[in-house]
Structure 1
Amino acid sequence: MSRPALADSMLPLSGRRGLVLGVANAHSIAWGCAEALHAQGAALVLSCLNEKARPWVQPLADTLGAPLIDCNVEVEGELEHLVAQAVETLGGLDFVIHSIAWAPLAELHGRVIDSSAAGFARAMTVSCHSLAALARLCEPHLGAGSALVTMTYHGAEEAIPHYGLMGPVKAALESTVRYLAVELGAKGVRVHAVSPGPVPTRAASGIEDFDDLMATAAAESPLRRLVTLDEIGALTAFLVGPGASGMTGQTIYVDAGFHAVR
């Protein structure tokens, strides 16, 4: 016998308002998070990179009834505009999901030792410092019980073949999470990094031999499989909700256990 559907007021995130950055298409981690958050009752504003991304993202946003705003964090003023529009639309913020990362392809495919200062700096700006900038802009709108979540990868902890420059950048991102957790904790704001196993996203397609990386993860993970966007979204929804009220400053894996055996 199936369970009756919960009334909207009974959903775990009913009444919560959130901003999700980085939706690229239906296979992006940000979209998996947005779907889970919406299903649990949250009201959302979504962002995509630019007008070129809209044909893939706008139909998704429309299914959730969520406004979609362009945001390239490398363009001056766009992050500020995004946060201001989200706050105006939603009347405030209870959580923010940061799911953006990028590195120049030549740097990503090369050795870290050969990386250029400019390429390293751009990767750090987009993938790491954008979280700090986002937290600063959102801080006035976040109160007790609110949460900020970003996305990382096990390459921050282990030297993963072909992950290259993004390994040090993600390590910096995880460190930033811990510092933000301390700095925002007095206000009751919680900060986490979610560390999914490899999933076939457009961003991941830039990593050399990514299919081999997924095959290794599926073969060696204790659960002998890859994780799904639904599982990543479910963890993220839990972390921004009341059930995780006593947690902050952590990197939390959802990778079928791969990190435990590597």
Structure 2
Amino acid sequence: MTFAARPIDPLPKVWDPDTRIGDMLKGKRGLVVGVANEHSIAFGCAAKLRAFGAELALTYLNEKAHKYVQPLAEQIQASLLMPLDVEKPGETAAVFDRIKAEWGHLDFLIHSIAYAPREDLHGRVIDCSEAGFAQAMRVSCYSFIEMARLAEPLMRPGGAMLTMSYYGADKVVSNYNVMGPVKAALEATTRYLAAELGEAGVRVYAVSPGPLKTRAASGIAAFDELVADAVARSPAGRLVDIAEVGRTVAFLVGGGASGMTGDTIYVDAGLHNMA
């Protein structure tokens, strides 16, 4: 038996996957924490989530950051824009109190913040100060636990919580130093939160992008060498961009990922598979 070949509609010369997805997140409301400027991973996520129909709340670190984040919030028509420094007592709770008052519920949470003091980040792990390690864990890991606890009563079945990790959590990466153990703790936290929130129908993920030229990444010593190595070793021979991370986040937030939870999802052009 033979079958006649059917013509396939050609793709546009410049194809954007988003044009075929539409409003898959229409009606969903979510909080994105960590937008610093237009190059930040958090903004790449926020922009794609909004493009797919989600209604968003954003946070900014302090008044210095506000002037950079406010235009971005306006650009993507964010409904709420709030200050959030996780090291300031009460600010995290205030964010979720406002979401409860104005929205009543939350469909997803995107946690994209990390910090380590420069002297600890640039030194050996064995030389890391106790205070520096504690601060890195507080900002980069414990804040996700705190936000998850505050978000839990606002989330309905089908909700999702995501945080941002990096390959240095699983393998030793030169100059990543103290952030390696911190991100490893974050990925373990993701698995435990997924186990604890699964009965409520809430999924939890860590997303692990490849190296991206963000302001936060610029604090890593010899970052340009890290980028060059990623391009040379990744199967795709390139870096990913924040839009690609955003599309992955949108998939995880949406119903298409309903059978997944507790996973670390790599978005690094295949770099993590290479020896």
1:21 to 19, 30, 33: 33
Match of 2:68 among 40, 53, 56: 56
Q: In the TM superposition, what whole-angstrom CA distance separates every residue of 1:97-152 from its partner, at most 9, and x where no partner exists? A: 00000000000000000011111000000000101000000100012100000000
1:109/1:207 contact within 8 Å kept: yes
Provide the residue aligned with 2:200 in structure 1. Answer: 187
Q: Is residue 36–residue 230 contact of structure 1 (8 Å, CA) maintained in 2?
A: yes
Give, in angstroms, the shift of residue 65 of structure 1: 1.6
Query: Aligned ranges for residues 217-232 of structure 1 at < 5 Å?
Result: 217-232=230-245
Letter in 2 for 1:74: E
Cα shift at 1:68: 1.3
Question: In 2, are the aligned partners of 1:24 and 1:53 still within 8 Å (CA)?
Answer: yes
Count of matched residue pairs: 260
User: Residue 6 of structure 1: CA displacement?
Assistant: 7.9
Secondary structure in structure 2 of the residue aligned to 1:218: helix
Give, in whole Å, the separation in 1 of the partners of 2:121 and 2:254: 35
Residue in structure 1 matched with residue 125 of structure 2 by the alignment: 112
What secondary structure sits across from 1:183 in the alignment? helix
8 A Cα contact 2:240 2:268, kept in partner = yes
Amino acid at match of 2:100: V
User: What amino acid maps onto 2:247 in structure 1?
Assistant: A
Q: Which has the larger radius of gyration?
A: 2
Q: Report sequence identity in percent.
A: 57
What letter corresponds to residue 95 of structure 1 in structure 2? F
Matches within 5 A, 1:126-165: 126-165=139-178
After superposition, the C-alpha distances for 1:47-106 in whole angstroms (9 at most, x for unaligned) are: 111111011111000112212111000000000011112233333100000000000000
In structure 2, what is the equivalent of residue 256 of structure 1? 269
- Aligned-residue offset at 1:177: 0.1
TM-score normalised over the length of structure 1: 0.96
- For 1:206 and 1:157, the matched residues in 2 are separated by 20
Q: List runs of 5+ in structure 2 lacking aligned partners.
A: 1-10
Distance 1:80 1:248 in 2: 25
When the two chains are superposed, the root-mean-square deviation of aligned CA atoms in Å is: 1.7
Q: Structure 2 length as normaliser, TM-score? A: 0.92
Q: Which amino acid aligns with 1:148?
A: M
Q: What CA distance in whole angstroms lies between the structure 1 residues aligned with 2:157 and 2:243? A: 27
